[in-house]
Amino acid sequence: MTETQILNYALNQFAGIDASAFELSAPYWQRKTYGKGEFYNEYKNVCKYLGFILDGVFRTYYIDDESAEEKNVFFFSKNQVVVAYKSFVTQTPCSYYTESMTESTILYIHINHLTELYGKSHHWERFGRLVAETAFNLAMNRAEEFMFRTPEQRYLELIQNHPDIFNNVPLYHIASYLGIQAPSLSRIRKRMVGK
């Protein structure tokens, strides 16, 4: 399968984008590769593109004004959309950095083209809604993890639900994602050995 076919298939699965609707979008998709540490979008930049990850892992992080620490917010991997959603939707400067953690390849589309597609076809308006719903689920899950679970529970759930991340990301990045410091994660891991 070509990369375009992969994209077509994924969009069909995700939002019922059919051949003719995909045709409308075909001229707009572009391809880009990232080296480890390169940015998809940076702090204060407006995110103008919606990306589809063909291969690789990205992380979105926040830099705390006071502590100057990086706090990981999301991980994105293969066959997922990567986007700084709020910035993209409101076309306002982003609060985050989104960087590639590996060699990565994406296909991406400009917001103006996407907006154009929204106007041209119900399918694409539907796609926009489904992307929004997906973004909502990501954010809500994140909020729930912090509101209802302890760091230890979050750690266990990460291992359960995202072994791909757990296995491919250094522990200090995972600690940050869990909202704790690296030494605390070490203590949690030690505590759990007995169980």
Nearer to DNA, 137 or 150 (CB): 150
Binder among 20, 67, 160, 167 for DNA (CB under 7 A): 67
Q: Please identify, using beta-carbon distances, which residue of 36 and 44 lies nearer to DNA.
A: 36
Segment near its own copies (CB under 8 A), from 18-26, 27-35, 114-122, 184-192?
A: 114-122
Instruction: Choose which of 110, 113, 126, 162 interacts with its own copies (CB under 8 A).
Output: 126
Q: Which of 35, 119, 193, 195 binds its own copies (CB under 8 A)?
A: 119
- Binding pattern to DNA, positions 146-175, x when CB under 7 A? ----xxx-----------------xxx---
- Per rule CB under 8 A, is residue 70 in the interface with its own copies? no
Residue entry with tokens 């291969």: 55
Neighbouring C-beta atoms of residue 133, cutoff 10 Å:
10
143 binds, among its own copies, DNA, none (CB under 5 to 8 A by kind): its own copies
- Please give the full DSSP string across the chain, using - where no structure is assigned: --HHHHHHHHHHHHH---HHHHHHHGGG-EEEEE-TT-EEE-TT-B--EEEEEEE-EEEEEEE-TTT--EEEEEEEETTSEE--HHHHHHT-B-SSEEEESSSEEEEEEEHHHHHHHHHH-HHHHHHHHHHHHHHHHHHHHHHHHHHH--HHHHHHHHHHH-HHHHHHS-HHHHHHHHTS-HHHHHHHHHHHHT-
**Contact residues for DNA, defined by CB under 7 A:** 67, 150-152, 170-172, 179-190
**Contact residues for its own copies, defined by CB under 8 A:** 62, 64, 71, 73, 85-86, 89, 118-119, 122, 125-126, 128-129, 132-133, 135-137, 139-140, 142-144, 146-148, 179
